[in-house]
A and B are shown apart, each in its own frame.
Chain A
Amino acid sequence: MAFRTKHGESDVGEPPSGQAPSAAERGLAIRRLDHFTVPVRDFHVSCKFYTEVLGGIITGEPDWEPFLAGRSAGSHMSIKLFQEAGRLVLYWQPWGHPEPDQVHPHRAFTVANAEQLAELLRRLQQAEVPWILVTPVAARPGEPVRISAYFRDPDMNQLEVVCPAYPFGAEVRVGTFDPAALCYPWSEWRRLVPDGGAPNRPRLKREGT
C-alpha cells in the first residue's frame, strides 16, 4: 500500500502492520450508514428548512426532558432526508457551527436527474437561500456534466447536492468558488417560525441588578 500522494506529504510511512492487524485482517466491517448529525440552534427553523426546502420527513421528535433534568447536553430530531439508508439528526447545540470560509465537513447528496436538481434550485431560490452551481471542467453549452449545487442550511452547515448529468451553461461556475458567499442570516429564518424550537434559557443578570 502506498502512502504517498501527488500532494507530496507522507510522514507516516508504511502501516505498522507488525503492531496491530487492520480491521479487514480482524474480519471487522462497518455494515451501513446509520445517521449523521448537524448542530442547530432551533428545531422549528431547521425543520422548516429540511422539510419544506429539501423535502425531508420528520421521523423523530425532540424530547427535552433529559436536557431540562440535566442528564443530557441537548436534544435531537430525526429527519428522513433521502431515499437510501441513513437519516439526518438535527442536534440542538447552539455553538460549534462552521466558519464562513469553511467547506469541510460537509454532506453531499445525490439527485437522480437534472429535473430534480432544477426543482431543488427552484425551492432554494424561493426560500432565498444562496446557492452556486459548480463543475470542475468547462464544457460546451448544453453538454451534460456532473455538477454540484453548494448551499448552507440556516445554521451555516455546508450542504451539496450532486447531479450526474446537468446541462452546462452560463450559470455554472467552473472550478473554485467563495464559500462565504453562501452565508445568510439565521435570524431571518427565526422570524418565520414560532417560539418553542429551543429551550428557554435563563438570561444572565447584569452586576448590581
Chain B
Amino acid sequence: MSELVAIFLGMVLINNFILVRFLGLCPFFGVSKQLGSAISMGIAVTFVMAIASLATWLIRNYILIPLDIEYMHIVIFILVIATLVQIIELFIKKTNLGLYFSFGIYLPLITTNCSVLGITLINATQDYSLSGSIVAALGGGLGFTLVLAMMSGIREKLELADTPKSMKGLPIAFIIAALLGLAFLGFGGIV
C-alpha cells in the first residue's frame, strides 16, 4: 500500500507530468487559456490514461511477454490507445451527450497526446504491477490536470497584465511554467 502511495505522490507532485517530465506540453500551452476547458481536458486525459494503462498492462503481460515480442510494444501501444479513444468517444456519445459536447475536440486529440503513450511506456519500463500502473496513471493525470488548471488561472489574469509586446502569448507562458516548476521543486523530498 505504501508503495502505491509513493507512486501516486511521486507522479502528482515530484515528477509532475508537465513540469518535470515534459509530457503533454502541446495541450498545456494550447488549451490552458480558460479554466473550464483546461479541467475538461485534464479529466479526459486522466480517464484515457487509466484505461490505456489497464489495457496495455494486460496486453504486455499476457500477450507480448509470453510470445517474446516485446519489441513490438510501440506499434501495439499506439494502436491500442487510438482504438480506445475511438471506443470511449462512441460510448460517451451514446450514453452522455452533454459530456460528449463538453469534451468536444479534446477527446480525439488525446491519441497524439504524449502523456498517454508516455504513461504506458513508463509503466512498461518501470515494470509496475497492475495496481501500480493504474495508480501511476491516475496520479500522472491528476498532476497534469492540476498544473493545467493552475496555468489557466494564471493566464486568465495575464490577459489583463501589461506584458512586453514581444513576450505576449507563448513566451511569457514558458516563463510562467518555469516559475511554477520552481515552486513544485519544493515538494522534492516528501516521498
Decide whether A and B assemble into one complex.
no
